Chain A
Amino acid sequence: MEFLLQPLTLLTFFPLLGVLILFFISSDNKNALRWTTLVTTLITFGISLWVLMTKFDASNPSLQLVAKYDWITVAGWNIQYHLGLDGLSILLVLLTTFLTPISILSTWTAVENRVKDFMIFFLLLEVGMTGVFLAQDLFLFYIFWEFTLVPMYFLIGIWGGPRRIYAAVKFFLYTMAGSILMLLAILWLGIYGQTFSVPELIAQHNIPEGIQWWLFLAFTAAFAIKVPMWPLHSWLPDAHVEAPTAGSVILAGVLLKMGTYGFVRFNLPLFPDAAVKAAPWIALLATIGIIYGAAVSYAQADVKKLVAYSSVSHLGFVMLGLFAMNPEGIAGAILQMINHGISTGALFLLVGMIYEQTHTREIKVYGGLWKITPIFGSIMLIVSLSSMGLPGLNGFVGEFTILLGAFGSQAIGNPWYAAISALGVIMAAVYILYMFQKMFLGPQGEIVEEVKKHGHALRDLNARELITIVPLLIFIFWIGLYPKPFFALMAPAVENLVKMLPIP
């Protein structure tokens, strides 16, 4: 019992209780299934808030609320059940527990088919994601990391669009390809350090630099695919476009962050020498990703694909910030992970809401929507502006801090990367405003008549949809206007991390 009541254990595994209850609810009683899941995820969110408010000490840079038990300690193994929370992960954990109920709410009318399975997979996914951000033992981390693939694979493959099977299998194989290389590196570390515990491995700090390179590469393979960094991004548009709305929200909002989080949590502190030397290269790839993602976004005819490619661009900023390796860069990157989760999550939700009515995502059939659905249009505008980094909204704070860090970064050693990346912000304005203009302004698009022919006119957001989207809007403004509490949560941990890096 003591094991289960550890705050972090409870937080991670609470959704399993929901799964258990779902098993006993008839598949036909769809609303009961939905409510059970929603309440479960809301309670999970409540637990994470409780942890934040009463348990977490932001001024402490080290791991907190540690739950540590021997797991497999026989036959030369030294594996522990080891969870811990610090400034690097607290925001991501909160993002996970915050986005999950929102995603569930978005499926209320969108998912009618096999609701029970959907909800079970979603709750399992939440367990996996939370576990990834909390695990402090490499074996445990790997289990959670790989496990998240399985429910997501089903979410895409069963409830996705027309090419869902292709997208699901591609997603699975791509991600697995990266993680199996990481597996070998994890095993090597486990043999070398006689432990899989991440804090202990960091404290040992004695891996020869030549080997650090190999391990760094292996871990990078796993994380770079997940982020995804250019040129390993090709699974992302497929997965995003085919996934159901809730799947896209979680995919963009949380799963991609697992990649960037992996860099912060493992690559930087475990292989500091290799990481510092690799920084210019990663910065180069990140910059290419920023420009490439933005350019390709502009060329898309499908609005969901446009948002998907914009993720490649935005995640490029996160990588640039991380490998700037100064407090501004890393803090900005972590905040930008949250921002991207909120803004892109909101974009996917909005696209999903209109798709539910029109069943098409082609930009060119839309037009003049703002007049017909004013609330929807206004919210879309706010979210779009947040995504392109308008000052006063959340995206600006993150991107500005990252660029600030990247300009002055000694690790990258060259302000040009930041300068070119800044162009990405402008390009974001181009593709986002292009999308907004085509869909919401101008003459009325053909889809409006098309929908009318089927008997019901386009409607504005209903109460449930507003409840889904408004919490995200609150954070868009909050982070944009007063980001200090968010930075305060992570600052000591970031400082601590930067101190570990042997920057020339």
Chain B
Amino acid sequence: MTQLDFQTILPYTILTVWACVLILVDLFIPKDRKSLTALLAALGLAVTLGFTLAQVGIERVAFNNMVVLDGFSTFVNALLLVSGLLGVALAYGYVKRMGIERGEYYTLLLFSVTGMMLMAQASDLIIVFLALELLSIPLYVLAAFALPKLESEEAGMKYFLLGAFSTGFVVYGIALIFGATGSTALSVIAQADLGGKMAPAFSPGTSGLLVVGAALLLIGFGFKVAAVPFHMWTPDVYQGAPTSVTAFMSSGAKIAGFAALLRVFATAFPYLAPSMTDVLWALSALTMIVGNVIAISQADIKRMLAYSSIAHAGYILMAFVPYGDPDPKVASTSIAAGLFYLISYAVTNFGAWGVVIALETKAGKGLTLTDYSGLAKKYPALAAAMTVFILSLIGFPPTLGMVGKFYLFRAAIDGEFYGLAIIGVLTSLISAFYYLRVVVNMYMREGDPAVERETWLDLSTGATAVLTVVFSLVPGFLFTWASEAVLRLF
């Protein structure tokens, strides 16, 4: 272990230490002043974000090739830390209002972010597994955080059981891959291929093992990102978990899951691409269709957004389909499109959940679509913000979601996946149908909604709404950033 090794994971280390210290410090913070813990957690995230941004442009491997630092990991880490900050901001008033304010909330959130960050930097399957557990276990606890509430308990239990099950797939997949290649390092697994065939160093019978192992990994990650048919847990967990947790989980876990999927498949299995393309195609199409179609029949906004988040996993998966394209330019633009879409999804998603949080009452009311009736008259700014998020989720200008979809569909067309692109736009049309119901209720129906005004909540909702519009008008620097982040992967 050298000093350089530590510099490679410096932001990660800072956050981990910060989280550990925060547990102890929290013990000395009186019960009625837990917002101090929240501020300290946010400070930790902000400091870490600063160190992460200082790493832009540095590329390095460390710890015997277990951990890697490159443009991709820096990009994902920055996005994760911003998600963490938004997660704290949304939770700040919410946990107080719901009577579940405990310091552990914020430390768990920090630990989860460290797991996600490690995921982005992992270049060894063992680290991938470690990171997966580190990010998941705090989330299981957070999902059940509103404990006396049955739904929350159910959400935590369900997430834990199914999550553990899916982790089993990942471990088994890693074992098979190790069996086939004799290594867990992504760079070594990548060398298993020589011109489309297994290298002679590996016995001929093992290529089947490798494929099965890769497929099991795909299932495990598919679970994390809520891709159909591994999505069953999503609506229940998203609905039952405290809304601030859902907001964080639906962005953070998805970003981390996609980061791992991308890293593993692009660096370790480029040669599996011909067979993976069809699988990913089907996963993506299925996820878009099922997510959007089932969302139509939801009357609860949390469930609706849960299905919408499933659908969006489908859109992001679309970017992975051409990952093995013989033209590396096609593959890298496509992945860059996926990364850009992650930004647009995270920003929009946090904003939309922020509005949901604003309307939720302590008794768990205010969560059906009809509760949004008349919002525009009473709270025009909040309704306008929600409209921006809805338009962005549909993919309408002038919002980030539209630019994101433009980028994604271009990648799909560039890779000549016309069928997938058509499914993508048609499901967007379906999504317009159910998203618009929120707008209809807010603007075109009468009602008397009650809204909680909390400074941090208002600020983060407002900021994400403004960013959703402004970034869509000047997306150039985000495009550059995303496309530079993927350069080294290919």
A contact set with B: CB distance below 8 Å = 71-77, 114, 117, 139, 142-143, 146-147, 149-150, 154, 157-158, 164-165, 168-169, 172-173, 176-177, 180-181, 183-184, 187-188, 190-191
Number of A-B contacts (CB under 8 A): 86
22 A-B Cβ contacts within 8 A?
Answer: A71-B476, A72-B479, A73-B476, A74-B479, A76-B333, A114-B377, A117-B376, A117-B380, A142-B397, A143-B397, A146-B396, A154-B443, A157-B440, A158-B443, A165-B440, A165-B444, A173-B429, A177-B429, A180-B429, A187-B406, A191-B410, A191-B414
Are B479 and A143 interface neighbours, CB within 8 A? no
B contact set with A: CB distance below 8 Å = 329, 333, 336, 376-377, 380, 391, 396-398, 402, 406, 409-410, 413-414, 418, 421-422, 425-426, 428-429, 432-433, 436, 440, 443-445, 475-477, 479-480, 482-483
Are A172 and B425 interface neighbours, CB within 8 A? no
Are B397 and A147 interface neighbours, CB within 8 A? yes
Could you tell me the distance between the alpha carbons of A166 and B380 in the complex, rounded to whole angstroms?
Answer: 23
Which of B380, B406, B422 has the most chain A CB within a 10 Å cutoff?
B406
Closest to B340 in A: A75
With both chains docked as a complex, state the minimum distance between the C-beta of B384 and any C-beta of chain A, in angstroms: 10
Could you tell me the distance between the alpha carbons of A71 and B475 in the complex, rounded to whole angstroms?
Answer: 9
Are A176 and B429 interface neighbours, CB within 8 A? yes
Given A72-B479, A74-B483, A150-B391, decide whether A169 and B440 contact each other with a Cβ distance below 8 A: yes
- Return the contact of A143 from the options B329, B402, B476 (Cβ within 8 A): B402
Are B397 and A187 interface neighbours, CB within 8 A? no
Q: Which residues of B contact A165 (CB under 8 A)?
A: 440, 444-445
Chain A interface, >50% SS class: helix
With both chains docked as a complex, state the minimum distance between the C-beta of A57 and any C-beta of chain B, in angstroms: 32
Q: Which residues of B contact A75 (CB under 8 A)?
A: 333, 336, 479-480, 482-483
Could you tell me the distance between the alpha carbons of A139 and B329 in the complex, rounded to whole angstroms?
Answer: 22
Could you tell me the distance between the alpha carbons of A454 and B167 in the complex, rounded to whole angstroms?
Answer: 74
* Beyond known contacts A164-B444, A165-B444, A173-B429: 18 more, CB 8 A cutoff: A74-B480, A75-B483, A114-B377, A146-B396, A146-B397, A146-B402, A154-B443, A158-B443, A165-B445, A168-B444, A169-B440, A173-B432, A180-B425, A180-B429, A184-B422, A184-B425, A187-B409, A188-B413
Could you tell me the distance between the alpha carbons of A164 and B443 in the complex, rounded to whole angstroms?
Answer: 12
Closest to A184 in B: B421
Could you tell me the distance between the alpha carbons of A172 and B436 in the complex, rounded to whole angstroms?
Answer: 9
Are B432 and A176 interface neighbours, CB within 8 A? yes
Q: Which residues of B contact A143 (CB under 8 A)?
A: 397-398, 402
Are B429 and A169 interface neighbours, CB within 8 A? no
With both chains docked as a complex, state the minimum distance between the C-beta of A140 and any C-beta of chain B, in angstroms: 10
- Return the contact of A139 from the options B396, B406, B426, B433 (Cβ within 8 A): B406
Could you tell me the distance between the alpha carbons of A191 and B417 in the complex, rounded to whole angstroms?
Answer: 14
Could you tell me the distance between the alpha carbons of A142 and B418 in the complex, rounded to whole angstroms?
Answer: 20
Are A72 and B422 interface neighbours, CB within 8 A? no
With both chains docked as a complex, state the minimum distance between the C-beta of B215 and any C-beta of chain A, in angstroms: 31
Could you tell me the distance between the alpha carbons of A165 and B445 in the complex, rounded to whole angstroms?
Answer: 9
Could you tell me the distance between the alpha carbons of A77 and B411 in the complex, rounded to whole angstroms?
Answer: 11
With both chains docked as a complex, state the minimum distance between the C-beta of A167 and any C-beta of chain B, in angstroms: 11
Could you tell me the distance between the alpha carbons of A417 and B317 in the complex, rounded to whole angstroms?
Answer: 49
Top 7 nearest A-B pairs by Cβ distance?
A: A180-B425, A75-B483, A143-B397, A75-B479, A157-B444, A74-B480, A187-B410
